[in-house]
Structure 1
Amino acid sequence: IEKVGAAPRALGALASAGPRLTGSTPLFSRFVCTPLSAECPAAAPGPAAAAGPEELLALRSAAAQLRRTALEQKERIRMDQETIRELTGKLSRCEGGLHAAPPAAGLRAAPRPGTMGHPPAEPPAVRELEEAVRALQERIDRIEELPSRPNGSAPTAPALARDALHSKMEQLEEQLLAKILALQKERHAANTDRSQQQHDIEKELNALQNRVAELEHGESPVYSPPDAFKVTIPVQNNYMYARMKKSLPELYAFTICMWLKSKALSGLGTPFSYSVPTQANEIVLLEWGSNPLELLINDKVAQLPLSLKDKAWHHVCVAWTTRDGKWSAYQDGEQRGSGENLASWHAIKPQGVIILGQEQDTLGGRFDATQAFVGELAHFAVWDHMLAPAEILALANCTSHLQGNVIQWDDQAVEVFGGASKAAFTACDDGRKA
């Protein structure tokens, strides 16, 4: 408000026309007001943010004092405004009276305080108000103009403590993460070592059992030639078996031959099974309970008219091709059965597991004792095509030593587990004597 209660232009006439009212307060005042925010400037990145706890407390106290002073000044201004309105009303009434009775001629009014000749004197209350407002504005300006802490200045003690705490927490988190990773590696290594130790123990146990059997029978541990051995599974259970170290490639035809001698009381069991990750019964030769001997390919079944339960050595071959699913079965060089539509146009999947003596319900495991083979096995071999009947007959009569082009019978290619053992065996001599 630049001017409050400005006098009308008729004030000169009032001053010259009549005497001044005795004891009245000055009729005119000048106020200079500066806008003042009701709140202290918000704490922002700057002086207050960088100040310490004592400086922040002092700033808060100053802000509260400024608010109280501003409220008091606001109340005083309101009271002064009421007084000015009252005086203005009286002045208006006086001015109306002067217009009704003009002054006498020849009389010249002397200039009075408050007229155009002399500016009105400001009352002490107004001066005090202006001084208080001016002091309040200066304090606000000083608060707003406090210099910011330079970037290169040293941080305060609370900032240093906070940074040290964060650094310590980060170090602890890194140590905890490193410990968790180390424990995971140790657990993985322990599991791997346990599996490897179990495998090594089984291997050593099998080697000892083989050595004991050799010493009991006076047999040499070295076989010559390398295929002159047999695998013996003496008891029907779910843990004695032999495993071929080599797997099969993808096949569109095959011939599988072997010498076997069953000692089972009922059912031949499972002379061999081939399982892959997606199919447990990829290739299986199985005689279970009172069921006939069966050849399974990709879970499709063909019954084989073979008789192998007389506890004598027999040469057995099964041949198959994906074209129309044609198959044939041979016993001692003679074809006993054939057919079609056995897993037609199916390709034998690679990278599986070949087990001798057990039927796999999962890849390489979960054997069933009721489906186990009991007896002796030798010369297990695989070709990637169907052998001719004459070739199979020559193998059975020992007039040919044709080796499998996919799997060959070799002492180094066969592992035995669970008590199954290896012993010397010559198919063309011992097989015919049996």
Structure 2
Amino acid sequence: MVSSVALFTLLFAATSAKRPTRGFTSNELIPRSSKLFKVALTQKGYIQFLRYQVAVPEMLDFTYCLWMRTKNFTHPHPLFSYSQKETQRVVRGWLSPSHQSALVHMEVLEQPVMRVRIELMHYRWYHFCQSWNSAQAHFELHINGELVASGTAPTLRGKPIPGGGDVVVGQELTDADKGLDDGIEGEVFGFNLVTGGGASLGRQLARYGYHYCTAGRGAPPISKGRYLINWPETPIRVFGGATVMPARPVCRHF
């Protein structure tokens, strides 16, 4: 069983330009406490996002989960971006506005695999989980602990996700130098990513992450497999003036 442990270091850094160029640098590194936290992003003045400091292996399956609430859904919200060399999109999941609702998208190896319409309300917390399994070319979408959609993309069957890339929440490194309007404008909490445990591990993370949202300081214990990214423990760089804030230990009311 993976348990929540010890202290962590949250690394905070601000970009130095409104439209950053390739190769982001940090102006300041600030260690944080081990208390429950969330991150607020406005995309005002600077492109704001979270970048994880983690060595990503080649993956045959993964599930990521994220609590998010939007305060302005005028533009698409990148939930998860995994890219290589800041130029090549490998996996990305995002929300786009559509009339009075939203669309949940996912692309794997630059091929669309998911497009699901949902209802999305401003200022309300939602728990999003997207899963992919290369062996079966199978995807799943869980929202608030429930399976909302699933399907297959046969042309991607057996194709692994290459390692060595960058994991970002709130923006895409492949777009950051373009000064685009896309970006989460709201708050995020509890981003976790697991791999190597197949569909059962991903479904467990989707359920536990929703129902036991503050267990393990945002990374609830799971019965098998391991976290590749763990909200309270994996070092994060926060760019562009995004604000690290205390979170309340109350699900859906952080």
Structure 2 partner of 1:393: 207
Match of 1:299 among 92, 97, 110: 110
1:14-40 deviations in whole A, cap 9, x for unaligned? xxxxxxxxxxxxxxxxxxxxxxxxxxx
Q: Comparing both structures, which one devotes a greater share of its residues to helix?
A: 1
Q: CA deviation at 1:389?
A: 3.5
Contact 1:237-1:369 at 8 Å conserved across structures = no
Residue of 342, 347, 352 corresponding to 2:165: 352
| Other-structure match for 1:199 | 25
- Equivalent residue letter for 1:416: V
- Report the Cα offset of residue 238 of structure 1: 5.4
Q: Does 1:433 align with 2:253?
A: yes
What is the rounded CA distance, in whole Å, between the counterparts of 2:53 and 2:120 in structure 1? 27
Report the counterpart of residue 51 of structure 2 in structure 1.
243
Give the whole-Å Cα distance in 2 for the aligned partners of 1:367 and 1:278. 12
Select which of 145, 165, 188 maps to 1:333.
145
- The answer to whether residue 220 in structure 2 is matched with residue 410 in structure 1 is no
Residue deviations 1:194-239, cap 9 Å, x none? Answer: x9xx935x226xx5xx9xxxxxxxxxx6333xxx211111235652
Q: Percent sequence identity over matched residues? A: 19
Partner of 2:174: 361
Judging by fraction of residues, say which structure has more strand.
Answer: 2
Larger radius of gyration: 1
Runs of 4+, deviation exceeding 4 Å: none
Structure 1 residue 268: Cα displacement? 4.3
Question: Which residue is 1:70 aligned to?
Answer: none
Q: Match for 1:423: what amino acid?
A: M
CA distance in 2, matches of 1:394, 1:322: 24
Counterpart-to-counterpart distance in 2, 1:341 and 1:361: 24
Q: Write the letter of the residue equivalent to 1:323.
A: A
Kept in 2: contact 1:264–1:309 (CA 8 A):
no
- Checking the alignment, whether the CA contact within 8 Å between 2:72 and 2:122 is kept in structure 1 is no
Distance in 2 separating the partners of 1:360 and 1:388: 25
How has the CA–CA distance of structure 1 residues 396 and 230 changed in structure 2, closer, same or farther, with 3 Å as cutoff?
same
**Residues 1:367 and 1:315: Cα distance change in structure 2 (over 3 Å):** farther
Q: Which shows bigger deviation, 382-391 or 349-358?
A: 382-391
SS of 1:349 mapped into structure 2: coil
The number of residues matched between the two structures is 216
Amino acid at match of 2:81: S
Cα RMSD, aligned residues only: 2.9
Partner of residue 62, structure 2: 254
**Match of residue 422, structure 1, among 244, 248, 251:** 244
Match of 1:382, as an amino acid? L
Q: Distance in 2 between matches of 1:289 and 1:237?
A: 22
Contact map agreement 1:280 1:360 (CA 8 A) in 2: no
Paired with 2:203 and 2:117, the residues of 1 have a C-alpha distance of 17
Give me the whole-angstrom Cα distance separating, in 1, the residues matched to 2:46 and 2:174: 12
- Partner Cα separation in structure 2 for residue 309 and residue 371 of structure 1: 18
Shift of 1:267: 4.1
Q: Matches of residues 269-280 of structure 1 in structure 2 within 5 Å?
A: 269-277=77-85, 280=88
